[in-house]
Structure 1
Amino acid sequence: MNLVPFVMGVTGFTVLDGQPVVDSLFLSMEMYFLNYSDSPPNILIEIARWTAPLMTASGVLMSISKIRGRILQLLRDRCRRRLGVGESEEIPASWK
């Protein structure tokens, strides 16, 4: 999903704008990391320019959420071992 703006940018630069493939790859990467500042020559590049930061931010938030879930699971497992609560026993609602 994160690559959709990149593919749209490469397509927009290569097919619709006539740029060489290597330049299209660089210009599309620029949307993510180097602050693409030219005015977009077509609608695909305009859409890619706006969705690239959104996809990056959503990827970061999903990663943070996944890491948080893993940390909470590890803490729950550690608490179960210390308190002697087995896997089949009900855990208190405050741990969820």
Structure 2
Amino acid sequence: MLSLQTAPATREDHWHPRATQLQACEMQFAIIAEAEADILGRLLAFFSQLQLVPHWLEVNRLGDNLLVQLRQPGLTPHRAEVIAQKMRSLVSVFSVELEQAAVP
């Protein structure tokens, strides 16, 4: 029988191992991209490569574009910026805004 294991709340940051516990927070991404069939998979792949699942995801179609908003807990600002830069390198992505999510 298969058993499901829960993913760790935070993932070790090998770039800054000692600062991970102090700086890890929930980051919010706002992405505007061309409405193509494969763009959601490409954007989410950056998180799945790190064994991360976004806490919140919302997608809205605005004409020929998509507004993709997501929140990912447990990221350092540096790691979040690296992911944002990779997203910006996709031809279909027009802009990526990144900010620390407000604490409820």
Q: TM-score, normalising length from structure 1?
A: 0.29
The structure number with the bigger radius of gyration is 1
Q: TM-score, normalising length from structure 2?
A: 0.27
Judging by fraction of residues, say which structure has more helix.
Answer: 1
| Relative contact order, higher structure (CA 8 A, sep 6+) | 2
